[in-house]
Amino acid sequence: MDLIGKFLKDDTTSKNVAVERLRLVLVHDRANISPGLMEALKEDLIAVISKYMDIDEEAMEINLNSGELSAALVANIPVKRIRR
Amino acid sequence: MAGKVIVITSGKGGVGKTTTCANLGTGLAIRGKKTVLIDADVGLRNLDVVMGLENRIVFDLVNVVEKTCKLRQALIKDKRFENLFLLPAAQTKEKDAVKPEQMVELCAELRKDFDYVLIDCPAGIEQGFKNAVAGADQAIIVTTPDVSAVRDADRIIGLLQSREIQNPRLVINRVRPEMVRKGDMMDVNDVNDILAISLIGVVPDDESIIISTNKGDPAVMDSGSKAGEAFRNIVARLEGEEVPFMSLDYDLGIFDKIKRIIKM
């Protein structure tokens, strides 16, 4: 069955190439979020984290890194003190 | 009554926005819906010729927003259909001759008198696009099954979301079943998976569109046209009917399968 499946399913058709290329390019396109949205996200994050710990808001960094196949939100948030 | 204001957009040029607009408008009018088409492509107007109404233009969109004429003076009544009107774009002005606020006001005015206001959006994402979407509360995105059109459609979906036009609906235009069958064109599911918005129509690539555009008679009027039938189906879906998607006969024939195996 696997062998037959392999024969009938051809991954190298030009449309499969198109789908693959599109998926990749859209990961990058979609990762370009606006600075305004990033700022709003940052403020919300500060509000949530501040409930549990004191953070250095000035030194905090948030970036959206897009890789080959995915995008990741990378945050570097220096903690001053944990609230107890 | 409060009509629906629907912008027809795509990002990329040449995918069939104007043709879609002309056909949906005509189809709605045939069903008895009072419909007005606005050509928002200031400077490159074309909806008039596709509709076959190019000889009847006296005033245009820019005249209306600048208030050099009354709105009803600029509306061209299509003599073939009781309920169909066109507001043509200006041909010799720039895109910035119209402002988004003016479009909002115009659409608010028109929706009082019409069941449907369809806006033909220019290609691109600049001023013309901003004007065209400003007064709309719904959007139809037209794409073709190729990488550049789908990519641009994805961008437009993002832009519409940030403008609070929710749930845009997708028309996949110029599908060529023979190429899909051979694995050389993305099929409806491929495009639909990538863009992930609700599908309202699939229109096959059809020579009858070229012929009907030559004549200025939208294909939706031609009962023998496959594309016309697809547009009639979209009109029915706009009206809330459940219409199954046309079968474009994608199945790989046994000969194609054998050919493909031999090629490997």
Nearest residue in chain B measured CA to CA from A8: B257
| CB within 8 Å: A16 and B183 | yes
Cα–Cα distance between B130 and B88 in angstroms, integer?
Answer: 18
The pTM of this model reads 0.81
Q: Dig out the tokens for A70 from the structure.
A: 């995915």
Residue range B81-108: mean pLDDT, rounded:
95
Q: Cβ contacts (< 8 Å) between A10 and chain B: which residues?
A: 183, 260, 264
| CB within 8 Å: B184 and A15 | yes
Cα–Cα distance between B219 and B23 in angstroms, integer?
Answer: 7
Helices (H), B6-117: 17-30, 47-51, 61-65, 71-74, 100-113
Q: Dig out the tokens for A57 from the structure.
A: 């808001």
Planar angle of CA A82, A39, B129, nearest 5 degrees: 160
Residue range A40-67: mean pLDDT, rounded:
87
| SS3 assignment, position A69 | coil
What is the pLDDT, as a whole number, of residue B6? Answer: 98
Domain ranges of chain A: 2-82
Q: Dig out the tokens for B194 from the structure.
A: 């990538």
Phi-psi region of B187 (alpha: psi -120 to 50; beta: other; left: phi over 0): beta
What is the pLDDT, as a whole number, of residue A1? Answer: 44
Domain count, chain B: 1
| CB within 8 Å: B261 and A7 | yes
- Interface size A-B, in CB pairs within 8 Å, comes to 46
Better-scored residue on pLDDT, B36 or A7? B36
CATH number at residue B103: 3.40.50.300
Percent of chain B exceeding pLDDT 90 equals 88
CB B126 within 8 A of CB B133: no
Residue range B174-187: mean pLDDT, rounded:
95
- Answer yes or no: is pLDDT of B252 > 70: no
Domain that holds residue B70: 4-263
Q: Which helix (H) or strand (E) holds B163?
A: none
Strands B84-87 and B198-204: unpaired
- Provide the chain B residues 241-260 that lie in CB contact (below 8 A) with chain A: 252, 257, 260
Strands A79-82 and A71-76: unpaired
B194 reaches A (C-beta below 8 A): yes
**What's the ipTM?**
0.81
